[in-house]
């Protein structure tokens, strides 16, 4: 979802700031806020799911021999996170619309997005959208800011409490204990990045909610641009942080990137030397057989290079 934000929302915002025209018109005014709020939901619920996973790993009676989670279970969790985040962001599609303003000095017509539900909506939906508009500030603060931070902190505290000092010192000497502590540090780092990048948005939302009549349109646009900048910064830092801290994921990503490169592929000489060394090892190890093989070696097919 971070890549979707960077590849779709970022060009639209940059184009609007440069040309004062809205790319894709009214569609982008609805899709961009929808994807940005969905990004907050995806990150929030992902951090909560990771916190639960770390708690289960700490409280499992046989943590070192815990089986790897199946792919179907992971896909089901991801589907719940994505579908739930997009469902909670549906009011953003009905809340925003395109507006135009003419500059009194230059006479240039500028396009911008305004938070104003359409009057053509049914009365029941219109009232729900207005309720969402009035409560969205505290909804963002409570669900998309406080929930992941408090959830991660509480899961980490409970995990440390359950492990105890003695068990923690024993686990640190093992490879499994180091892996668990490394994963916990990764989750904490993701939470810190998310908290730092969403704090300016929540502060500006509270300030705008109580001081918007005294602010000019230029100030409101500047605050909105700063909030989007921090969102884009979070979306660009989070994948890099995951690839750097989570070594298996980073190695798998590098293998996928290098599979199409000729320079990253195995060299013929190195493959031949590795094959020769493997053959020598097999021949040398065959000396130590005390009794003959029970089954004869398979016959080679006629016409082969061998």
- What range defines the domain where residue 242 resides? 1-59+69-166+177-259
Q: What is the reported pLDDT for 67?
A: 65
- Reported pTM: 0.72
Instruction: Enumerate the H helices of the chain as residue ranges.
Output: 2-4, 10-19, 26-59, 71-88, 91-95, 123-141, 147-172, 175-211, 217-245, 247-258, 268-285
Could you tell me if residue 155 is inside a domain? yes
Q: What is the reported pLDDT for 123?
A: 84
Give the CATH number of the domain where residue 214 resides.
1.20.1070.10
Contact 172, 178 (CB under 8 A): yes
Could you tell me if residue 96 is inside a domain? yes
Q: What is the reported pLDDT for 177?
A: 64
Could you tell me if residue 249 is inside a domain? yes
Tell me how far CA of residue 57 lies from CA of 6, 34, 51, 131, in angstroms. Answer: 33, 34, 10, 41
Half-sphere exposure of 4 (CA within 13 A, CB side): 13
Residues in the chain: 306
The full 3-state SS of 25-65, as one line of letters, equals CHHHHHHHHHHHHHHHHHHHHHHHHHHHHHHHHHHCCCCCC
Q: What is the reported pLDDT for 242?
A: 81
Tell me how far CA of residue 179 lies from CA of 43, 58, 218, in angstroms. Answer: 23, 12, 49
Could you tell me if residue 304 is inside a domain? no
Could you tell me if residue 284 is inside a domain? no
Could you tell me if residue 38 is inside a domain? yes
Could you tell me if residue 211 is inside a domain? yes
pLDDT per residue rounded down to tens, the chain (306 residues): 888 888 888 888 888 888 888 888 788 888 988 999 999 999 999 988 888 887 777 776 655 556 677 888 888 989 999 999 999 998 888 888 888 777 666 667 778 788 888 778 888 888 888 888 888 888 888 889 989 898 888 888 887 777 665 454 454 446 666 677 777 788 888 889 898 988 888 888 888 877 766 777 778 878 888 888 898 998 888 888 888 777 777 777 777 777 756 555 444 444 444 444 444 444 433 333 344 444 444 544 544 454
Could you tell me if residue 32 is inside a domain? yes
Number of domains in the chain: 1
Longest Cα separation, the chain: 100
């Amino acid at each position: 979802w971070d890549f979707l934000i960077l590849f779709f929302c970022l060009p639209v915002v940059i184009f609007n700031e440069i040309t004062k025209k809205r790319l894709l018109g009214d569609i982008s005014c609805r899709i961009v806020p929808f994807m940005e709020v969905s990004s907050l939901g995806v990150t929030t619920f992902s951090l909560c799911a990771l916190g639960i996973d770390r708690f289960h790993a700490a409280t499992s009676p046989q943590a070192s021999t815990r089986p790897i989670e199946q792919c179907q279970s992971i896909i089901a969790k991801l589907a719940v996170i994505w579908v739930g985040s997009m469902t909670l962001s549906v009011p953003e599609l009905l809340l925003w619309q395109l507006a135009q303003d003419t500059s009194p000095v230059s006479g240039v017509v500028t396009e911008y997005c305004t938070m104003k539900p359409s009057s053509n909506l049914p009365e029941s939906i219109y009232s729900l959208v207005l309720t969402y508009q009035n409560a969205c500030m505290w909804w963002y603060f409570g669900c998309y800011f406080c929930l992941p931070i408090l959830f991660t902190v509480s899961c980490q505290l409970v995990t440390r409490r359950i492990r105890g000092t003695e068990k923690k010192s024993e686990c640190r000497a093992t490879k499994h204990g180091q892996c668990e502590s490394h994963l916990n540090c990764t989750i904490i780092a993701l939470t810190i990045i998310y908290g730092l990048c969403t704090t300016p948005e929540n502060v500006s939302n509270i300030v705008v909610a109580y001081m918007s009549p005294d602010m000019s349109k230029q100030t409101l646009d500047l605050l909105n641009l700063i909030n989007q900048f921090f969102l884009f910064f979070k979306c660009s830092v989070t994948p890099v942080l995951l690839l750097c801290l989570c070594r298996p994921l980073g190695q798998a990503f590098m293998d996928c990137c290098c599979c199409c490169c000729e320079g990253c592929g195995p060299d013929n000489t190195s493959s031949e030397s590795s094959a020769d060394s493997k053959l020598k090892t097999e021949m040398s190890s065959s000396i130590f057989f005390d009794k003959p093989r029970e089954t004869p070696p398979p016959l080679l097919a006629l016409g082969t290079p061998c």
